[in-house]
Amino acid sequence: MDYSGGSEKADHLCVVVHGLWGNPNHMKTVVKTLRDAYSEDELYILLPKRNKGSSTYDGIERGGERVCEEIQEELRKIEANGGNITKLSVVGYSLGGLVSRYAVGLLHAKGVLDQLRPMNFTTFASPHLGVRSPLRGWHNHIWNVLGARTLSMSGRQLFTIDDFRDTGRPLLSIMADPDSIFMEGLSRFKRKTLYANIAHDRSVPYYTACIAKTDPYRNIEKVKFNYVPGYEEVVLDPINPVRPSLKPDGMTLESFANNSWWYLKNAPKITLIAVFIPIAIVGYLLNSVVQNLRSSKRIRLHESGLAGIEPGKYRVPIMMQELRQKVEDAYEDVNNSQQQEYLASSDDDENEGVMNEKDRKTLARERRMSHPQWPTLALAPYQFDMINQLDGLGWRKYPVYLRKNLHTHAAIIVRMNKASFVEGYTVMKHWIKEEFLI
């Protein structure tokens, strides 16, 4: 059943944007949650369709331009049918959260937000800081540089190795700049909410989805959780999510027995993974070559205006002072194998020898501010700056603990009708009842 659209009486437009490799069907539970809560006379729902499937490889800005174009077209269509939209909300999942932030910046720059009341901006498992793993030394170069080459332009932007419009800075850094159209546009929304998986999200780790410098959930066994009342076992208290566990350190007889049984029970699966993951990775890399070539062709068509959209309409000044499934699984398995590292305790890190003075000062500042209980992750200097800047917007951050499925990136929005994704409905319930403003 199609829950999108609305009647001419609706005055509130909600735009719902899918993620990498995605399509509008991935968002059916999100859309159904909205429609169950609000009728077609109360809420008009738009699911942008032009930036789906492999088109999501083409870069965040091209995705944002496509989404912006569809929003403006829908607003004109509604007006032509006698409707009058006065309020706007935007929901982004995974990469869709970044595409949405870019589209919001364009809407702001083009004056569209001047005619609307920006209400809700929500992201589910979106990599606000990119997907660069917090690594130091040669590991950083092998994964974060080579890994970025397999997803075309979107990959380079997600791994923050791009040079956006010859600024000398990656796009995500520009999008977090307080003087950019993106931050100005985002700041206009009355409520900004994000949900982040604390475990088993193989695509978007907690720190980047929650815009955080630390990860208190690296060892689940050593913490106890504080939940939002009424949403126990799933949605954590955003102010005080964890406290130290009273469990003794070390291996107990019970935990040894449990671990041994787990390994025995999962031995066939572990063996299967050991055999087929290398095959999947080879297949993924071969596919990435094909997808990169196809994406390059789409980008050329887009830039030449032959893809149904005129890019010149969206190449506005970006700084406010200037204005005034198989492939996905293989990628996730490689991404998940990277173990996060922490910021060095002194300035003897080998990477710092090639840094400029500004970046060295940033890392020195973060060391001084390091949380005594949760070590600071080995993020890049610009990622620390992004966190400080994005936090200034006043996000409402909700850590989410899903246990029933190890593919929590899909489960958080119940991307498919699957029994083990049932905990995602609690996330949806919390969002619609506690966060969404109509």
Q: What is the pLDDT of residue 275?
A: 54
Q: Which of 62, 66, 90 shows the shortest CA–CA distance to 162? A: 62
Q: What is the pLDDT of residue 324?
A: 47
Alpha helical stretches, state H, 147-216 = 152-158, 171-175, 181-187, 206-209
Bigger pLDDT: 179 vs 373: 179
Domains (ranges, CATH) in the chain?
A: 12-435 (3.40.50.1820)
Q: What is the pLDDT of residue 147?
A: 57
Q: How far apart are the first and last CA of the chain?
A: 23
Spatial contact of 384 and 213, defined as CB atoms under 8 Å apart = yes
The 10s digit of each residue's pLDDT in 46-100 is 999 999 888 888 999 999 999 999 999 999 999 999 999 999 999 999 999 999 9
Tally of CB atoms within 10 A around 334: 18
Distance between CA atoms of 422 and 400, rounded to whole angstroms?
Answer: 13
> For residue 313, is pLDDT > 70?
yes
pTM for the whole thing? Answer: 0.80
Over range 113-122, report the average pLDDT: 98
> For residue 247, is pLDDT > 60?
no
Tally of CB atoms within 10 A around 376: 20
> Which residues share a beta bridge with 185?
none
The 10s digit of each residue's pLDDT in 198-224 is 999 988 999 999 999 999 998 888 899
Distance between CA atoms of 182 and 109, rounded to whole angstroms?
Answer: 9
**Rounded to whole angstroms, what are the CA distances from 431 to 98, 121, 191?**
19, 11, 12
Q: Which residue has the tokens 């965040």?
A: 60
DSSP state of 132: -
Q: What is the pLDDT of residue 174?
A: 97
**Packing angle between helix 381-391 and helix 357-368, nearest 10 degrees?**
60
Distance between CA atoms of 222 and 411, rounded to whole angstroms?
Answer: 24
Q: What is the pLDDT of residue 56?
A: 86
Amino acid letter, residue 177: D
Over range 332-360, report the average pLDDT: 64
Q: Which residue has the tokens 């399509």?
A: 23
**Cα angle, residue 197 at apex, residues 195 and 202 outer, rounded to 5°:** 130
The 10s digit of each residue's pLDDT in 147-168 is 556 667 888 899 898 999 999 9
Q: What is the pLDDT of residue 295?
A: 72
DSSP state of 433: I
**β-pairing, 87-93 with 12-17?**
parallel
Distance between CA atoms of 382 and 380, rounded to whole angstroms?
Answer: 6
Spatial contact of 362 and 385, defined as CB atoms under 8 Å apart = yes
Q: How many CA atoms lie within 13 A of 128 on its CB side?
A: 33
